[in-house]
Amino acid sequence: MATTNDLKNGLVLNIEGQLWQVVEFQHVKPGKGPAFVRTKLKNVLSGKTVDKTFNAGLKIETATVDRRDMQYSYKDGDDFVFMDMSTYEQTYVSAETVGDAAKYMLEGQDVIVAFHEENVLFVELPAAVVLTVSHTEPGLQGDRSSAGTKPATLETGTEIQVPLFLNEGDKVKVDTRSGSYISRVTD
């Protein structure tokens, strides 16, 4: 058990038998009336997002979530296989559970896999990953109809918008939360 004062991003709550992860929270102290906490919660299993308000100091039940450092090994049919680096145990995770993280994962990449009672809840990538551009058209100098960006396909098969100066084979840093280009990476 915790109180609403203990809320932080990433905390998993057990509300009416369902697991909800705190995406955002804000403590509000209005001029009149009692303080409250405004939250944005994401259902861990369905991915549905809701806004919920709690009275300040209210006791809430937290879920025990075991975050393990694992390495993405390979894809087996519709499942992704992760290996626990301390025990070398392999865990199969469905594509539905992996979700959008699959767009930015390469074999051998370190990730965090969250478990609750030995069930996989979600796969968490680093905030940014470095990937190679596998295909993009040459950027035409002076073409500003697209605000200086062009589509590029990454080595994982994901397409993002990149600046015109990038070419095939360039390495780029990509934000895994928004899927946007951050910078070019030079070796």
Q: What sign does the dihedral 66-67-73-77 (CA atoms) show? A: positive
Q: Per-residue pLDDT tens for 51-67?
A: 988 888 888 888 888 88
Q: Please, are residues 63 and 116 in contact by the beta-carbon 8 Å criterion?
A: yes
Reading the block at residue 113, the tokens are: 């896999």
Q: Per-residue pLDDT tens for 119-164?
A: 888 888 888 888 888 888 876 665 555 567 888 888 888 888 888 8
pTM of the model: 0.71
Quote the CA–CA distance of 96 and 102 in Å, as a whole number: 10
Category of 118 on φ-ψ map: left (φ > 0), alpha (ψ -120 to 50) or beta: left
Residue 162, helix vs strand vs coil: strand
Quote the CA–CA distance of 101 and 80 in Å, as a whole number: 11
